[in-house]
Structure 1
Amino acid sequence: MIQSLRLATALLSGLVFGVGLALSGMLDPARVRGFLDVTGAWDPTLAFVLAGAVTASGLGTALARRLRRPVLANSFDWPTRSRIDFALILGAGLFGVGWGLSGFCPGPAVAALSGRSLPVAVFVVAMLAGMAAHGAARRVLLVR
């Protein structure tokens, strides 16, 4: 029963997230690139989307920190690392370059697959290939 509730909650959360991305314009790569183009034809509308997301996340985190445990789990899974290292900087930089060039980040790209667009599908396939390559490289580097 609890597993079914977890799955239903995850599905509902994903649907709300996807609808929010669609309503906010985050599925339109041209709008995203316009937001990132601060020296050209800057489109500030996504700043409000980001501000809303940061606000909701901050409020949710503050509420979660007051709870003893989650409703559908035995404990919270809080991050344990807080160090800024080369891997974090490199990953953030690669994410930013990919976002700027394509206009997509992972969540909106997966949601945009519903539009059956070939460029979106190519991006998602490339993203999955990059994730697989990262996992393989990490395993090779950690073995040594």
Structure 2
Amino acid sequence: MPYLWVAIGGAIGSVARFWLGNAMAVAVGAAFPWGTLLINILGSFVISFFGGLTGMGHRFALPYEARIFVTVGVCGGFTTFSSFSLQTVELARTGQPGRAALYVALSMIICLAACAVGVWAASAINQSVGARAA
């Protein structure tokens, strides 16, 4: 049954990634992979925030199946590290090494920051809810 939850979540995440990537390309153009960057930032935040709120021993603990539905399924289908890698190589291959380096730097720095913010936000919510319950 866990595989079914991952598959359903993955389908949802993949469709969301496809939609958002296309929406960003229409909105700002396709010269730079802004959609993939945004997707990876959002995915980094969501996986850490959700994990921080719903893990075992946390205030909003959820069953294993619900956690893997979101983290492995939805976030796994939504985030696009493989697309990021290919787009970086293509930028470099087509004579745009500066853009390739910028893309790598922005992806690493902002996604790690989004993940840290997700952990911080989940911890703050867990503490505030715990304080109210006491």
**Shorter-chain TM-score category?**
0.3 to 0.5
TM-score normalised by L of structure 2: 0.35
TM-score normalised by L of structure 1: 0.34
Higher relative contact order (CA closer than 8 Å, sequence separation 6+): 2
Rg (Cα) greater in structure: 1
